[in-house]
Every structure is written in C-alpha cells, then in structure tokens.
Amino acid sequence: MQRDKQSKHPIYWAFHIDGIFHEMSQDKVYCATAKDLVEKSLNGINCILIGYGQTGSGKSFTIGGLRNNWEHRGIVPRLLSDMFMEKANRRKISNIRYRLSFIELRGKNVVDLLTQKRRIFNVNERGVFKIHIVEMAGTGTVGKSSCWKTAVDLGMANLMKIQLEQYFLHLRKPSMSTYSVIRSSNLLKLLRDAFTVTSIIRFISHVRITREDLEITLSTMRMTAKIAKLKPIKTIRHIQPQTELIVQQLREQVNTLKKELELNDMFLHQEALANISKSRLEQICRDVINFLQGFISELTLFNVTHARVLVNVVKQLYDKFVPLILCILDQSSNLNLCILIIYVI
C-alpha cells in the first residue's frame, strides 16, 4: 500500500497468485509446492520448481533449508527422501534409476558442483524425465541497505530475471523470438527441454515486506502475477506407462498362468494312486495341521492322491473338533476364548 502524493487516498495493489506462505513450516511449504512432483515425474512429466526473488528474502532457506537442522530442511532434501522412498515402494514393478546434477550458473560459466568442472550439457536427452529445482540469483538495487551484493552480481541477476520473464511471455506462442531468448540464457538452454506447456512449472516468489523494498517487491509480484495468469494450452497427452513396468507386469501374469496350467494338466491327466504309504499319510496330516496353525503359509499339491488325502484329513479334523467348538460356544458367549481353544488343539 502507498499513499498517493496528490491524493489523500491510499493506493492498493492486488496480484493474482495461488497461495501465500507466511510463518509457515518448511514441511507445509514442501507439501504445497513440491511433494507431488516425484510421482508426476515418474509418470513421465517434466517438472520445474523455481525459487525466485529479492536477495536475502529466503530462497536458499526454502530450497535447501538450514544445514544440520532436520526440522528446517528445505525442499531438496525432502524431495530426495521421497524419491528414494518411492523407488523402494515400486521396486517390485519398476527398476527406477535416478541421476543427480548440482549445477552453478555464473554468467556464461556452467560449473558442475559435484565434480567442480566446467561442463556442457546434453539438454536433449530423450526418455529421461526431470525435476529441475532452480534457485535464481537474488535480484536487488545497488546501494540499498538490504542489499550487500556487487553491482556486477546484481546486474547478472536482474538480466536473468528479464530473460526469464521474456521467455514466459513467449511460452504460450512460441515464435522465432523465443529461440533468440533461449540462446541468450544458459538457464533457459538448460531448461528448455522441460520448459514446455505440458510441463509442471512451479514458481515460488520471495519478497521482503519492508518500505525500503517496496519497488522490488512490486516488480517481483508483477512478474509472478504474469506467470500465474499464463494458461497452458490444453493438450491431450497420453502418458505411456514405462515399458519396463509393462514387461514386468506381463512376465508376472505369464508365470501365474503357467503355474495354473501345470496344475490343471496334473489333475486332468493323473489317476489317483490306490495306496499311499503310512509315513506319507502322516506327513500330509502334519502339513495340514501346520497350515491350519499358521506355521506354513501354503500347501503345495503334488498329485491327485495328495489332494484326496488332504480333503480327507480336513474332513476328519472337522468331524472331531466342530462338535467340541459348538459345545463351547453354547456354554460361553466369549468368541475370543473359543478361537484360543481351537489353536491350542
């Protein structure tokens, strides 16, 4: 809000945004802005999350969080935990592999922070779905008390802001000028594969609410509002489940069907044996009792004779114990007690 010099009335600014985080825990910020990105990217959607705003406004706090402080860890450590949790959850149906890059963009230089080497990126990798987490350089005005950055650093940060703003404006209607915007920025070159209308783009703007920072706050909010208003072109996109996943599921189906066929074959073409040895009979009885008592999880049938004996044993157990159970049920209404007795037997 600002009071107009000529008039006594205050001026208000209103901006359309999706939400405000004020005095909010890191967990809530993560859940609202990034938690769903793991699943989306595993389903084949590229995701970009950008932390943007004035210098000293809390971008590093949101993205990385505080070091050595579990509660205040930021989006990146939380996202990594969730990624590996999801990998573990899906290990039976999918072989997920992750690759991680940690990159610093400084002017024309691109430095891989994991190897400390300059590198050139292969931006057009196909079949790899990415989550880009970007912490933009903080913008600001030289000479303000809240700004301790050099003029060169601020100049680069402000230029990056303009390039990003231009790119977003061109995003809806790609034209030749879009490509010249991309060519001018290392960040856009790096992101262009993922920066499409079918991607998920999350923009977290950071502002400092002080009188001194009003102009830069307004500039940040104007850009945020422009981006928030962009309505992506609706495209129908059929996301194909990963090939590996389909192959794995089909293999499991084939194995189940094979087992069923073997069993069918066995029962159809086998004659029951007239005699069965005493020790074999005792073994089958023991198996049935162990199964009923829960010591083994399943009974494997080897032949028709085995199945017949099994049914007989179950019938004998039924004849022996059901009258006893009914009698106990008559005497007591405590069902738990009855169940306990059955297992003791």
Ligand X SMILES: Nc1ncnc2c1ncn2[C@@H]1O[C@H](COP(=O)(O)OP(=O)(O)OP(=O)(O)O)[C@@H](O)[C@H]1O
58 is in an annotated binding site: yes
Q: Residue 206 Cβ, how far from ligand X at the closest point, in Å?
A: 6
Q: Quick one: 44 or 56, whose CB is closer to ligand X?
A: 56
57 is in an annotated binding site: yes
Q: Using CB under 6 A as the criterion, which residues of the chain lie in contact with ligand X when the complex forms?
A: 55-61, 138, 206
Number of Cβ within 10 Å of residue 216's Cβ equals 23
Dihedral sign, Cα of residue 105, residue 194, residue 47, residue 174: positive
**Which amino acid type is present at position 22?**
H
19 is in an annotated binding site: no
Spatial neighbors of 280 by CB under 8 A, at least 6 apart, are: none
DSSP-H helix ranges across 90-199: 151-171, 176-183, 186-191
Q: Residue 151 Cβ, how far from ligand X at the closest point, in Å?
A: 15
3-state secondary structure (DSSP) of residue 2 = strand
Q: Residue 138 Cβ, how far from ligand X at the closest point, in Å?
A: 2
Instruction: Of 77, 74, 85, give the one whose Cα is nearest residue 39.
Output: 85
Q: Residue 67 Cβ, how far from ligand X at the closest point, in Å?
A: 10
Q: Residue 101 Cβ, how far from ligand X at the closest point, in Å?
A: 20
Q: Quick one: 56 or 77, whose CB is closer to ligand X?
A: 56
Cβ 194 vs Cβ 47: under 8 Å: yes
Q: Quick one: 59 or 306, whose CB is closer to ligand X?
A: 59
28 is in an annotated binding site: no
* Residue carrying the six token digits 């189906």: 253
55 is in an annotated binding site: yes
Cβ 101 vs Cβ 190: under 8 Å: no
CA distance 71 to 59: 17
Which residue's C-beta sits nearest to ligand X? 138
Task: Retrieve residue 6's tokens.
Answer: 């000529």
Q: Quick one: 21 or 129, whose CB is closer to ligand X?
A: 21
Q: Quick one: 46 or 205, whose CB is closer to ligand X?
A: 205
Q: Residue 146 Cβ, how far from ligand X at the closest point, in Å?
A: 10
Cβ 194 vs Cβ 41: under 8 Å: no
Q: Quick one: 59 or 73, whose CB is closer to ligand X?
A: 59
180 is in an annotated binding site: no
56 is in an annotated binding site: yes
Alpha carbon distances (Å) from 77 to 27, 62, 96, 105, 120: 11, 11, 19, 21, 26
198 is in an annotated binding site: no
Cβ 48 vs Cβ 195: under 8 Å: yes
Which residues carry a binding-site annotation for ATP? 53-60
Which residues carry a binding-site annotation? 53-60
